[in-house]
Amino acid sequence: MDKIIGEIKSKNTAIDVLINNAGIVVPKRYDEQTYQNHLKTFAVNYLAPVHMTIQLKPLLKGHVVTIASIASLLRGNNLTSYAASKHAIYGFFNCMRVELAR
């Protein structure tokens, strides 16, 4: 990811639209998930889009679109870690939107 970010930054061009669309799911019950499953899910679904957006902030001149999931607001079987990570990304970008609107 850092390699790609470096390549983008080296072009020193404005970014009109950044689309964050990262997502994985490990479909297991909460008591079957390992800590590593949780780390991987949060690394891809939450931390990667946040990292990408923060690193590319100097080049952002337009919109940031982040794809979350309706699972961030609902319940589902075998989706505990996934739903939590999507809830986190939804919360982060909702707050960021409010902060940038000022």
Which residues neighbour 51 within 8 Å (Cβ) at sequence distance 6 or greater?
A: 1
Catalytic site residues? 82
pLDDT tens digits for range 26-66? 999 999 999 999 999 999 999 999 999 999 999 999 999 99
| HSE, side-chain direction, 13 A CA sphere, residue 14 | 4
Beta bridge partners of 93: none
User: Which residue would you say has higher pLDDT here, 60 or 71?
Assistant: 60
Note the residue count of the chain: 102
Three-state SS across 17-65? EEEECCCCCCCCCCCCCCHHHHHHHHHHHHHHHHHHHHHCHHHEEEEEE
pLDDT tens sequence across 78-102: 999 999 999 999 999 999 999 988 7
Question: Domain residue spans in the chain?
Answer: 19-101
19-101 CATH fold: Rossmann fold (3.40.50)
